[in-house]
Amino acid sequence: MSSRKTRSFFLWPLVASACFLLSVAFFPNNPYKVTPQKDLDQREDPKQKLTSHNSTKVKMGCDFSKGKWVPDSGGPAYTNATCRTLMESKDCLKYGKDTDYLNWRWKPNGCELPRFEARMFLDIVRGKRMAFAGDSVARNQLESLLCLLSEVETPLDVDKDAEDKFRTWYFKSYDFTVMKLWTRFLVEETERMINGSASGVFDLHLDRINTKWTEKLPLINYLVISDSHWFFRKNYLYEGGKLIGCTFCSEANLTDLGINYAVQRAFRTALKYLSKCEKCEGLLTFLRTFTPAHFENGTWNSGGDCKRIRPANEGDVSFSGTDWELRNAQVEEVKKLQVEKPKGAKHFMLLDVTRAMTMRPDAHPGSHWNNKWMGGYNDCLHWCLPGPIDMWNELLFALLKEDTP
């Protein structure tokens, strides 16, 4: 079974010209432990669907989250020549990655995931605003979307703050706005300072929303929220203003409540806020579930790498352990809202990509990125562009189509 050893996680701001946040994880948990397929199927009500409401447009029996990667020779939807916003750090082909990882397509069991159609996507979101709230993996999905849409139009880079935490792109001919709302934890955070320098340890108020990202919400029609990687570190947890425990800690007088507890509470707080938010009329929220890192033969800072060149088969991957508990906690929080949904309430949907991405150890940059700044480290956490992360937006597209009259 997977090691229960503390996983620590680092996300460093990339300074100067590079304009994004980089994260690299230390994941001793090896997803390649073959375990019996003890499974979510047993825990989940099969009647519950990915989406919250009844529609005839997409086959409702289809669960996009389960399936396999099948060979596909269609080629990538974009390249670094057609996508002018493609970030250097995700341009894996430029840095020598073999193209094999591109020749696969996600095939859900019993149905097809429609291919992304940029023009139809833009028609659906014409005049609307979409935001991605979360960490650098959320940003990774946003960048994928910009590239997928670049087939039709390159967006204007209209606004960004000094640290590139909040940034806005605009597709002029469709009056469509895409925003990045940076948040490490969704909830209120304060980094502990030790001798005047940042410690990487945070005080988290699990029951208080972080208003830095929510203050942008009144303008937003579609929100994709995610997060979790920053929770893999020592943090102090508060509820009701009181210190109630910590994570990745060993302190005599304090309980280690576990990362799952912290993540679930943070998402509960965020979703509750969204469901009650009076200024967020008509908001449709997608929760993108946790995706694992795939460091092997070491950790992020001890030479760990991700050199596999093929997707994993379902049977070779363990769908248990911390990654799955986090995903299940996120799903549980969304399903609670779907069940309770009173008339006129806001919609919540899942982009449940955990299973699909657990099977893609071959799709991270690894050593194939411009890691001058972090010389020698491999990125087995983020995802190459183009690549299977584009599937997250195909899923978003399928659900948006379904939701749009």
How near is the Cβ of 93 to ligand NAG at its closest, in Å? 4
Helix axis angle, 322-340 to 259-276, nearest 10°: 20
Give the residue carrying structure tokens 């996508």. 83
Q: Which of 23, 52, 65, 136 is catalytic?
A: 136
> Which residues sit opposite 243 in a β-bridge?
238
**Distance in angstroms between the alpha carbons of the first and the last residue of the chain:** 47
Measured from the CB atom, the residue of 239 and 325 that comes closer to ligand NAG is: 239
Measured from the CB atom, the residue of 129 and 308 that comes closer to ligand NAG is: 308
**Window 136-165: residues binding ligand NAG (CB under 6 A):** none
Q: What is the CA radius of gyration of the chain?
A: 20
Q: Is 97 in the site for ligand NAG (CB under 6 A)?
A: no
Cα–Cα–Cα angle for 260, 263, 267, rounded to 5 degrees = 135
Q: Is 193 in the site for ligand NAG (CB under 6 A)?
A: no
> Which residues sit opposite 85 in a β-bridge?
none
Residue of the chain from 151, 153, 256, 296 that contacts ligand NAG (CB under 6 A): 296
Tokens of 102: 């591109």
How near is the Cβ of 247 to ligand NAG at its closest, in Å? 15
Q: In whole angstroms, what is the distance from residue 403 CA to residue 54 CA?
A: 9
Measured from the CB atom, the residue of 42 and 253 that comes closer to ligand NAG is: 253
Q: Which of 362, 379, 390, 403 is catalytic?
A: 379
How near is the Cβ of 253 to ligand NAG at its closest, in Å? 4
Q: Is 94 in the site for ligand NAG (CB under 6 A)?
A: yes
Residue of the chain from 54, 73, 173, 250 that contacts ligand NAG (CB under 6 A): 54
State the DSSP string of 120-135: HHHHHTTT-EEEEEES
Which three-class secondary structure state does DSSP give residue 333? helix
Q: Is 136 a catalytic residue?
A: yes
Sign of CA dihedral 245, 248, 252, 255: positive
Measured from the CB atom, the residue of 120 and 254 that comes closer to ligand NAG is: 254
Q: Which of 205, 229, 347, 382 is catalytic?
A: 382
Q: In whole angstroms, what is the distance from residue 285 CA to residue 129 CA?
A: 12
Q: In whole angstroms, what is the distance from residue 102 CA to residue 20 CA?
A: 24
Cα–Cα–Cα angle for 157, 163, 165, rounded to 5 degrees = 65
Q: Is 83 in the site for ligand NAG (CB under 6 A)?
A: no
Measured from the CB atom, the residue of 296 and 332 that comes closer to ligand NAG is: 296
- Look up residue 206 and give its amino acid: L
Measured from the CB atom, the residue of 198 and 243 that comes closer to ligand NAG is: 243
Q: In whole angstroms, what is the distance from residue 225 CA to residue 288 CA?
A: 6
Q: Is 390 a catalytic residue?
A: no
Q: Is 308 in the site for ligand NAG (CB under 6 A)?
A: yes
Q: Is 297 in the site for ligand NAG (CB under 6 A)?
A: yes
The CB density around residue 276, as the number of other CB atoms within 10 Å, is 10
Q: Is 305 in the site for ligand NAG (CB under 6 A)?
A: yes
The CB density around residue 225, as the number of other CB atoms within 10 Å, is 24
**Window 239-258: residues binding ligand NAG (CB under 6 A):** 243, 251, 253-254
How near is the Cβ of 96 to ligand NAG at its closest, in Å? 9
Residue of the chain from 68, 216, 307, 310 that contacts ligand NAG (CB under 6 A): 307
Catalytic residues: 136, 379, 382
Which residues of this chain interact with ligand NAG, rule CB under 6 A? 54, 80, 93-94, 194-195, 243, 251, 253-254, 296-297, 305-308
